[in-house]
Structure formats: C-alpha cells, structure tokens
Amino acid sequence: MSVSTNNLKNGMAISYDGKTWVIVEFQHVKPGKGGAFVRTKLKELRSGRVVDITFRGGEKLDDVRLENKNLQYLYNDGIGYHFMDTETYEQFELSAEFVGEAAKWLKENDVATVLSADGEMMGVEPPMFVDLEITETDPGFKGDTVQGGTKPATLETGAVVAVPMFLNSGDKIRVDTRDGRYVTRV
C-alpha cells in the first residue's frame, strides 16, 4: 500500500530506501517558483537515528503498518531475553542486541512494549516509569552539600542513576526510563 507525501501525518510509518521510518515531523512547502515539496524529519526504527529528508509533492511512499504488543519479561538466561505474550501465552526469545538499552530498566514480570512493523519485531520499549531497588550507593552525610546534591546509585537491574543524598541502599525509587532520571522514593 502506498501513501502520497501530501497525506503524511506525524507518527505514521513509511518504508524508504529499504528501511522502516517513523515520521517525527513534516512540513509542506510551496515556494513561489517551482514545484511544492515536503520537508520531513524521519526516525529509523532499527537504529533510532533521526534524519532530515525532502520529498517532492505528490511522491508515493510505501506505508508500513505498526503494531505495539505488550509482552511480559520473564527472565534472561545469559544468551537472550525471554518474553511472553500475555494474551496467547506464546514465548519469544530476543537477543541482547535487539533488547539494547531497554534491558537496564527491565526486571522479571514487568510488561514491555514490543514494536513490530508488518509482522517483524523492530524494538523493545520498557514501561515509562519503573520502580527499582537501590543495591549500592555511598552513604550521605548531613552537611555534605549546601543544596540538593546527588550521588550515583546502582539499581537492582545494574543501571546507575543520580539520586538525592538522603537515599540509601535498600530504598525503592521510581525512575523515568526515557532519560534515566530519578523521580521519587516509593
């Protein structure tokens, strides 16, 4: 199925140059002289890189159907990450390279979103906020900082985040997985 550049929308997925892209932003331009064109900012699904590409007005592109599927993370056996579809109970093993950065936010029984394009799995998105326990951090002492200092803390999944001085090992915290920021104590 093809779509015209005149009908592009933000969030739409297209196939271009043999790769699958999501439209981050687009702008129709009609100069006074010459033909119309469309400036787009596209994000490649596999690598996550964002590029600017310009198309002629009315140019046809291949439309790609995107699906989000919620899968429960079961365990990591050292070779791959095992997930289960909560509706069909079908199990999947995904490689560490495929899971990528999302692995540091996943703990057993969490539900992650797996993005697939035309039936092919493209990437793993962890939940937006996760509650994790601090396994290791330096103790904070009263008077260490004048105002709101932070210290590094290692979480149960191995991720390292900056946390306020008053937190200690064993405390549970909420982390924003989009940027790895501490949100609050749980």
Q: What is the pLDDT of residues 12-36, one digit of tens each?
A: 889 888 888 888 899 999 988 888 9
**pLDDT at residue 102 is higher than 60:** yes
In 47-90, beta strands by DSSP E: 50-56, 60-64, 66-76, 80-85
Residue 31 shares a structural domain with residue 79? no
Token digits of residue 146: 């004048």
33 in Cβ contact with 45 (< 8 Å) = no
pLDDT of residue 141: 64
Residue 161 shares a structural domain with residue 117? no
In the chain, % of residues over pLDDT 70: 95
Rounded Cα gap, residues 148 and 139, in angstroms: 15
Domain count for the chain: 3
Average pLDDT, the chain: 87
Residue 102 shares a structural domain with residue 74? yes
pLDDT of residue 178: 84
Rounded Cα gap, residues 146 and 143, in angstroms: 7
pLDDT of residue 83: 93
Contacting residues for 120 by C-beta, under 8 A, at least 6 apart: none
Question: What's the CATH code of the domain at 136?
Answer: 2.40.50.140
Question: What's the CATH code of the domain at 31?
Answer: 2.30.30.30
Where is the domain boundary, 125, 145, 162?
125
Helices (H), 74-169: 96-99
Residue 115 shares a structural domain with residue 163? no
Residue 120 shares a structural domain with residue 133? no
Residue 133 shares a structural domain with residue 121? no
Strand order in the sheet with 80-85: 91-95, 80-85, 66-76, 111-117, 120-125
Residue 117 shares a structural domain with residue 142? no
pLDDT tens figures, 163-182:
988 888 999 999 998 888 99
SS3 category, 38: strand
Range of the domain at 158: 129-185
Q: How confident is the model at residue 39 (pLDDT cuts 50, 70, 90)?
A: very high
The length of the chain is 186
**pLDDT at residue 120 is higher than 60:** yes
Of 43 and 119, the structure prediction assigns the larger pLDDT to 43
Token digits of residue 181: 């920021």
pLDDT of residue 86: 87
Looking at residues 93-112, what average pLDDT do you find? 88
Residue 114 shares a structural domain with residue 142? no
Residue 103 shares a structural domain with residue 138? no
CA proximity to 1, closest of 67, 60, 57: 60
Where is the domain boundary, 125, 147, 172?
125
pLDDT tens figures, 125-168:
888 899 999 999 888 766 555 566 788 999 999 999 999 888 88
Looking at residues 29-46, what average pLDDT do you find? 88
162 in Cβ contact with 152 (< 8 Å) = yes
